Amino acid sequence: MNTPSHHKFLIAAANSGAGKTTITLGLIKALRNRGKVVQPFKCGPDYIDTKLHTLAASKEAVNLDLYLSSTSHVQELFATYSEQVDVSVVEGVMGLFDGYDKMQGSAAQVSETIDCPIVLVVNAKAAAYSVAPLLYGFKNFYKGIKVVGAIFNFVGSESHYRFLKEACEDVGVVPLGYLPKREELVIPSRHLGLITDNDTELVSTIDTMAKVIEETVDLDALLELTANQTSTYTPKTNETSGALNILVAKDEAFNFMYVANIRALKQLGKVTYFSPLHDKELPADVDFIYLPGGYPELFAKELSENSTMHNSILKYVEAGGKLFAECGGMMYVSSHIETADGEWYPMVGIFNQEAKMKPMKLKLGYRYFTTSGGTEFKGHEFHYSHLESDLTSIVQQFGAKHQEVDTKLLRYKNALAGYTHLYWGEKANILDLFK
């Protein structure tokens, strides 16, 4: 269970673009600099922010999503990964009350679910005392949450902060400090979010964020305000592994995966990682292969040239081996990838279709479908590529508000592929896809 010294808080904002991620990363690193063990969490299905969190905390970030999973699952995840740490830091998604249906699935709902106080990030770029009604509204709009403090971003000066501080005090929200307007606090733009464990540029930026926060944010007040001595939820104990040999792609090109999904796979058997980029062939005695999303388009040439791996995967599938490929993984097992600059590269070729990056248009949203065997799966779609394909989907997928969407799930023998990032972290039922 949580120790008496455990602290927890959720970083939220009135809207996207207020600086939640910057302040979250800076706080994580600043607390680590104080010797605290910090566990990061992210509301929603986001992969990019969790990678940034992991880099700042040196601990894998965990997604908490109330569309993809149940209330009890989110509570269990939070309790399990908070058990042996000093501070649990949760970053919200979009604005505090923005969910897939009004506030359903929002950061506010996550906060209520895990009983976590909220620190509100406010963009103060063009405001002073007028933040008072904003703070008052967010504090009092919904009684199921507790907005306890505020950190202001894009603050021009100490005198500017005094107006903001007065606004906090007048509405009963603790002013915890601010971040000034500084170019060095901007997260570098890198390949649509490509992040590696040894990214020196990002590490340096996060270090700078922490140093500024240590100067302008009252960390002692934050810890005092968010101290929590009890936990009402039970961590999950380790379960006995099954007998399957499971292979998961993980390298520079394929690295978008939920911590809970991998944990669930370990319930089914032994998980081993491999690299479609660097390894020449699959190992023997594989029962299931998972090809997650990532950025295969950025490594298309290298992936294409590794033809021995293509042949090894094809041989495995033709022999009836089970494989699930999602988003970037699906692009890899298509016939070709066409990059944004028009270069054309042959891929594994399980499915006769082309994945194209041009024109780049974002497609995103929650998805769900039911298999022919009666199992419902939920997931999230987020990609800039598109397919040229005449292949027929084996299921009809729907959006969060039950509207039909044209996203396909393809099948060849026991190989399945689609754009939807599926979540099986709660039920460990990924193999039901093949029934």
Choose among 410, 371, 370: nearest CA to 391.
410
What is the predicted pLDDT for the residue at 191? 38
Q: What is the pTM (predicted TM-score) of this model?
A: 0.94
Of residues 43, 116, 168, 327, which has the active-site annotation? 327
**Token reading at 337:** 């990838």
What's the one-letter identity of residue 310?
H
- Where in the chain are all domains bearing CATH 3.40.50.880? 244-434
Give yes or no for a contact between 289 and 324, defined as CB atoms under 8 angstroms apart: yes
- Where in the chain are all domains bearing CATH 3.40.50.300? 7-225
Which CATH architecture does the domain made up of 244-434 adopt? 3-Layer(aba) Sandwich (3.40)
> What span, in angstroms and rounded, lies between the C-alpha atoms of 85 and 6?
7
CATH superfamily ID and name for 7-225: P-loop containing nucleotide triphosphate hydrolases (3.40.50.300)
What is the predicted pLDDT for the residue at 232? 65
What is the predicted pLDDT for the residue at 231? 61
Give yes or no for a contact between 244 and 272, defined as CB atoms under 8 angstroms apart: no
What burial letters (b/e) apply to 116-139, b meaning 16+ CB within 10 Å? bbbbbbbbbeebbeebbebbbebb
Choose among 422, 365, 356, 425: nearest CA to 399.
365
Give yes or no for a contact between 73 and 425, defined as CB atoms under 8 angstroms apart: yes
pLDDT along the chain (435 residues), means of 10: 74 92 96 97 94 94 98 96 95 96 97 97 92 96 96 93 95 96 70 59 90 96 86 68 93 95 96 98 97 95 98 98 98 96 96 93 95 96 94 97 97 98 97 95
Q: Does residue 359 have a cis bond before it (omega within 30 degrees)?
A: yes
What is the predicted pLDDT for the residue at 368? 98
pLDDT digits (tens, 9 = 90+) for 61-73: 999 999 999 999 9
> What span, in angstroms and rounded, lies between the C-alpha atoms of 172 and 170?
6
What is the predicted pLDDT for the residue at 190? 52
Neighbours of 321 (CB within 10 A): 18
**Annotation marks residue 327 as catalytic:** yes
